[in-house]
Chain A
């Protein structure tokens, strides 16, 4: 099984960011909204077997 493939993807929902330690985010909700418009592109190939 050989499958070359191309995909487009978008994030549907993005949760609030968490940041570790004592750091904090400013205006996190505002930035989250702007990030949700991301459109990604991915290309790859799958090698497989049937079982």
Chain B
């Protein structure tokens, strides 16, 4: 069901991007985004898995790492004064590469993750409600999309990169919903 909703929202967004809108002045915006955030790759570490040798990877601690990643992305929006509609793409990389030690297996694990996120967004800018000469105006945005993730594990006998005994990837996929608030320069739309 959600896949269909995403498809419909995507088609609506594309039609708004491609259709001239004569009621308002309009422009197309291209932006580069960069930021930091939490990621749900952290929770994936509790997945029990078995290695080639039949060893079960125990539930690794979720407290000994920082669930922070950084990301870069691009955005393409069609702007109609107080509304914008567009598409976005992000690449996120986990900044939490770290070794974990399983006492019962006498093995270390390195993990690192990446996300590729595609989606669409709509934005409403609180412009007409403002009466002062602000340079930045608040806005609220709704985003939805799909994230393709990859979580890589390296299994090592010692905490050295040269002693890797096995490696594997866990590949989840999820659809996401995002509510955004922020500040936007409005002078380009005037």
Q: Chain A residues in contact with chain B, CB under 8 A?
A: 1-15, 17-28, 31, 34-36, 38, 40-51
How far is the CB of B155 from the nearest CB of chain A, in Å?
Answer: 10
Q: A35-B43, A40-B38, A49-B29 are in contact. Are A4 and B183 (CB under 8 A)?
A: yes
B29–A15 touching, CB < 8 Å: no
How many of chain B's residues have a CB under 8 angstroms from any CB in A? 53
How far is the CB of B78 from the nearest CB of chain A, in Å?
Answer: 11
* Any A CB within 8 A of the CB of B97: no
B171–A2 touching, CB < 8 Å: no
The docked-state distance in angstroms from the alpha carbon of A30 to that of B176 is: 20
Q: Which of A3, A34, A43, A51 contacts B183 (CB 8 A)?
A: A3
B71–A8 touching, CB < 8 Å: no
B48: which A residues are within 8 A, CB to CB?
A: 25-27, 31
B185–A12 touching, CB < 8 Å: no
How far is the CB of A45 from the nearest CB of chain B, in Å?
Answer: 7
Q: A1-B185, A9-B178, A46-B33 are in contact. Are A20 and B173 (CB under 8 A)?
A: no
B52: which A residues are within 8 A, CB to CB?
A: 21-23
The docked-state distance in angstroms from the alpha carbon of A41 to that of B178 is: 9
In the complex formed, the residue of B with least CB distance to A14 is B174
Q: Chain B residues in contact with chain A, CB under 8 A?
A: 2, 27-40, 43-44, 46-52, 56, 71, 75, 79, 136, 139, 141, 143-144, 147, 168-185, 188
B184–A3 touching, CB < 8 Å: yes
The docked-state distance in angstroms from the alpha carbon of A1 to that of B27 is: 12
The docked-state distance in angstroms from the alpha carbon of A28 to that of B139 is: 39
**Additional A-B contact list (7), CB under 8 Å, known A9-B178, A45-B34, A51-B30:** A3-B139, A10-B176, A12-B175, A42-B178, A44-B34, A49-B31, A51-B27
In the complex formed, the residue of A with least CB distance to B46 is A31
Q: A3-B182, A3-B185, A7-B178 are in contact. Are A43 and B36 (CB under 8 A)?
A: yes
B29: which A residues are within 8 A, CB to CB?
A: 1, 48-51
The docked-state distance in angstroms from the alpha carbon of A18 to that of B168 is: 11
A12–B177 touching, CB < 8 Å: yes
The docked-state distance in angstroms from the alpha carbon of A9 to that of B29 is: 23
The docked-state distance in angstroms from the alpha carbon of A3 to that of B35 is: 12
